[in-house]
Amino acid sequence: MRIPIRRGRTFTRDDGADAVVVSETTAAQFWPGASPLGRVFREGPDSRVRQVVGVAADVTQRSFNEMTRPHFYQTIRETPGDGAWSVVIRTVANPADLILPIRDVVHAVDPGLPVRSVQTMRERMALPLWLPRTMAGFFGVCGVIAVLLATVGLFGVTYFVVMQRTREFGVRLALGATGAGLRRLVVGEALRLVMPGILIGALAAVAAGFAAGSVLFGVSAASPLTYIVAAGVQALVAVAASWIPAIKAARVDPLTVLKAE
């Protein structure tokens, strides 16, 4: 399952039946501030002695928002022979192609052993993940629409403001300003206007991300790449929105502008 081992190790063939790997929550609850490795505890109605050989990362068993509970792992030799077993197989091939071979192997070991269900992990998780994926898709679409609206609005406002200064640019050109200098001026002013808004928006997004951190899985609430890309896109929109009219303004005939004035 590729559950990370945080401390110690996992099982070896030399381990006795009493060796266990505990979860991080178990280690923190029963041995706070101390190393759990080598610790011994008693478990079950018969006070079975267990010895900790490793600490594994916490995992969720049934749902993403379940409360993390203390638990430990034991060797397969401790698994009861009666009852249902679940076997997880990882493969580099297509998992669906192994369904029939897995059944054949089980029947070869014990022809009377029923195989109740053979599923790929994608199929197994399809139903539990349906609601989170649907909600994530919905909010993802809302996010894309919000980005598009913000981009269009930013471009339109910046473009309009720059075009309103066409006469000013003509006067600057008449007084000796160059086209390159004029473009740098326009783009610099646009960025000075937009960057505070981008910064405030990024800080608000970080705060909202931490507030919603309990429903985020597999992603960080403060992923630097996400905010860098978002800020970069809006900065590029501001540059484009100011660069295009700045080029037009740089080509204005100063005499025409002065006559209009």
The pTM score is: 0.57
User: Are residues 151 and 64 both part of a single domain?
Assistant: no
User: Are residues 209 and 220 both part of a single domain?
Assistant: yes
Is residue 54's pLDDT more than 90? Answer: yes
CA angle (93 as vertex; 92, 98 as ends), nearest 5: 125
Count of CB atoms situated within 10 Å of the CB of 54: 20
User: Are residues 134 and 214 both part of a single domain?
Assistant: yes
Q: How many domains does the chain have?
A: 3
User: Are residues 144 and 114 both part of a single domain?
Assistant: no
User: Are residues 134 and 255 both part of a single domain?
Assistant: yes
User: Are residues 75 and 21 both part of a single domain?
Assistant: yes
pLDDT digits (tens, 9 = 90+) for 121-140: 888 888 878 888 888 889 88
- pLDDT band at 177; cut points 50, 70, 90: confident
User: Are residues 95 and 153 both part of a single domain?
Assistant: no
User: Are residues 62 and 112 both part of a single domain?
Assistant: no
Picking from 38, 217, 196, the residue whose alpha carbon sits closest to that of residue 132 is 217
User: Are residues 117 and 139 both part of a single domain?
Assistant: no
User: Are residues 196 and 112 both part of a single domain?
Assistant: no
For the record, the structure tokens of 192 come out as 């000075």
User: Are residues 112 and 201 both part of a single domain?
Assistant: no
- Those residues whose C-beta lies under 8 Å from the C-beta of residue 183, and which sit 6 or more positions away, are 243, 246, 247, 250
**Most confident of the following: 28-42, 64-78, 95-109, 247-261:** 28-42
Task: Point out the domain boundary residue: 40, 55, 79.
Answer: 79
d(CA 117, CA 59): 23
pLDDT digits (tens, 9 = 90+) for 18-39: 899 999 999 999 999 899 999 9
Which residues constitute the domain of residue 97?
Answer: 87-127
Burial profile 110-143: b = 16 or more Cβ within 10 angstroms, e = fewer: eeeeeeeebeeeeeeeeeeeeeeeeeeeeeeeee
